[in-house]
Every structure is written in C-alpha cells, then in structure tokens.
C-alpha cells in the first residue's frame, strides 16, 4: 500500500511528530510506502512530492514546523484543483492520504472524501477550536510560550509602572488568551466570543494601579469592542476567505493611555506562538494521533478524523469535525473574571 501525507494551513509544533508516527508505524508494522506532499494541498495539486523513509523522520520529533512545508492553498478555489489532486494520486499510485491540518485543511479533505478520495484527517491548530476533539496539538505549546512572555513582561511593567497589553492569536476562539491569561495571572482577558467594554477594561486597569501594581491585559487578535469591529492588519483575504487580523492590542493600549493618563504599551506575540520546540504534551498527543491515523487507513475507515476524547483517541466523521468551531463558553469566561482587576 502507498500512503501520502500532507500538512496544511498554519504551521505549529507537533506536526513533525505526526509525520514521524505515521511513517514509522506505516513501515514497521504494515510495510507501506510513504510519500510526503510539499506545501499543503499545493503539493498534490502540482505533483510536488518526496519519499518518506525511516531515516527521514529519525530526528524530527522535537522540531517545530513541518518538514513537508505548508500553505493555505484551497484546491476548490483553483480551476481544476480537485481533479489535479486526483490525477496526481493516481499517477503516484497513492492509495490513501493522511491530511494534517485545521478547519480549512480538513474541510478540503472532507470534500475530497466526498469526491472519492481515500482520506483520513488529523486535527492540528494552536487555536484549539475544532469542536470534535478536546484538544489539538500545538495549543499546549502556544499557551506555554504566551505564558512565559506574560511572566517576562510583568517584571518590566512593574519596573516602569505601566500597563502592558499582550496580543495573542485567536481569530474566532479565545482559548489561547484564556489559558495563558489565567496561567500568567493577567488582570484582564479579552476573547473574540464576548465583546468588551473599554470603560470596564479601564476600570480594571485603574483598580490595579490603585494597588500600586502594573496591569497586564491579554487580548486575542479577534476580540472586538462593544459596537466596534475586528481590527485588520490587512483587508486582503486568503484562499479560504480569511482576512489578516492584528492591531487590537495597540489600539487598546492607546485607549488605556488616553483614558487613564498612564503609560501603556502593546506587545504582539504573533508567530512566536507557532514556532520552536513542542512541549512534551504536544509531542505525545501528536504521536498518538499519527499512530491512530495509520490504524484508520489500515482498516479502510476513510472519511474519518482522529480525535481526543478525555484520555482516549477516537474517530469521528470529517464532516462532523469541520461542522462548527469550538469556542470559549460563557461560564468559562465568567469563571475567570474573579481574577480581573
């Protein structure tokens, strides 16, 4: 059997651990041939591939990013894109495809499955916003990186008695903001799921200053003020229709400075949250996903995605996995508010 792999969408720590697990089990247990497609869905569209053997995955467990490269290519936005993928798979005698990615990558995988391609999905996103799985690998590492940044920023904020606004990733879901904000002891946490009142934020900030401490505000890039709109870094849209967000942290820092008269600074963590060595948790979860994806392929359970439920790895339908996003529920956010101010 010949099995292909690809990694699509934004990169994150743990992708190489999945690749390693699929290659090792595929070869050692099933004696499969493995082929990797470069740059997400662009690889099978254009026939850009490479063989994957045991030596290719020997030392990649602790490496961030992906040895296969990635992109936000959407074959259903390209003329003849899906047909080109089918042609490539046929020409390279690929019997099944393991697609590793988030909602967009797996959404394409689901459509290809409906079009007759044998595909199994593996969930990946630092935003942790896929509803069908309790956690996605990459999230734990991103939270650790953001938490460490908050810890470091707190000391300089206290030294200069200034407010610091930390902007983290999170377009539609505020899981990184919530978890890193709680772990880092932030005084305000703002998420996309709930519009924020600038006056309330200022009240929390001033309360912190009154106690002679410097406030730390963690804000997800997709957070929106009451009656306002998302702050855009660019109005351009990618192949999946997403605009590039960014700037809410700077906007909020300026509002805080204007309304309190206190010095305020913004720090945008950006892609530092995606890079570097994956945590032990993400390495283990990614490895377990990869091993179970091999089982799904071996059993012919195509159109499925592996998922974490509790401590077990289960399978769900790709159609269900990409049906909706997992967002921060109201009670989780309200629970955190006791620490605000």
State the catalytic residues: 127
244: three-class secondary structure by DSSP? strand
For residue 147, how many C-alpha atoms fall within 13 Å in the half-sphere facing its CB?
Answer: 15
Who contacts 322 (Cβ-Cβ below 8 Å, separation ≥6)?
A: 103, 106, 107, 110, 130
Question: Pick from 85, 13, 12, 1: which is nearest to 47 by CA?
Answer: 85
Size (the chain), residues = 341
How far apart are alpha carbons 60 and 74 in whole angstroms? 27
304: three-class secondary structure by DSSP? strand
How far apart are alpha carbons 195 and 149 in whole angstroms? 25
Structural contact between residues 220 and 192, judged by C-beta atoms closer than 8 angstroms: yes
Structural contact between residues 1 and 35, judged by C-beta atoms closer than 8 angstroms: no
β-strand partners of 95: none
Show the tokens assigned to 293. 């994806």
User: Given CA atoms 170, 173, 179, 185 in this order, what sign does their dihedral have?
Assistant: positive
Buried b / exposed e over 271-299, threshold 16 CB at 10 Å, is: eebbebebbebbbebbbbbbbbbbbbbbe
């Amino acid at each position: 059997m010949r099995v292909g792999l690809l990694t699509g969408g934004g990169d994150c720590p743990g992708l190489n651990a999945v690749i390693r697990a699929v290659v090792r089990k595929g070869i050692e247990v099933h004696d499969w041939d493995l082929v990797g497609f470069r740059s997400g869905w662009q690889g099978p569209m254009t026939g850009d591939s490479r063989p994957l053997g045991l030596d290719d995955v020997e030392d990649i467990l602790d490496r961030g990013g992906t040895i296969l490269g990635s992109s936000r290519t959407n074959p259903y936005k390209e003329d003849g894109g899906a047909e080109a993928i089918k042609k490539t798979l046929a020409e390279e005698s690929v019997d099944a495809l393991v697609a590793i990615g988030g909602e967009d990558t797996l959404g394409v995988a689901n459509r290809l499955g409906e079009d007759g391609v044998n595909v199994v999905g593996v969930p990946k996103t630092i935003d942790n916003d896929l509803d069908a799985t309790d956690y996605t690998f990459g999230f734990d590492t991103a939270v650790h990186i953001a938490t460490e940044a908050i810890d470091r920023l707190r000391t300089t904020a206290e030294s200069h008695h200034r407010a610091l606004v930390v902007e983290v990733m999170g377009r539609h879901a505020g899981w990184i903001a919530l978890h890193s904000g709680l772990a880092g002891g932030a005084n305000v946490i703002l998420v996309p799921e709930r519009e924020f009142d600038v006056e309330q934020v200022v009240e929390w900030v001033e309360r912190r200053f009154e106690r002679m401490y410097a406030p730390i505000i963690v804000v997800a890039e997709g957070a929106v003020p009451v009656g306002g709109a998302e702050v855009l870094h660019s109005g351009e849209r990618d192949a999946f229709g997403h605009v590039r967000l960014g700037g809410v942290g700077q906007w909020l820092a300026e509002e805080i400075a204007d309304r309190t008269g206190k010095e305020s600074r913004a720090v945008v963590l950006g892609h530092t949250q995606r890079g570097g060595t994956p945590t032990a948790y993400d390495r283990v979860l990614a490895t377990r996903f990869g091993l179970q994806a091999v089982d799904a392929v071996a059993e012919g359970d195509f159109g499925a995605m592996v998922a974490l439920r509790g401590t077990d790895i289960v399978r769900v339908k790709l159609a269900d996995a990409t049906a909706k996003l997992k967002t921060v529920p109201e009670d989780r956010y309200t629970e955190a508010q006791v620490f605000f101010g």
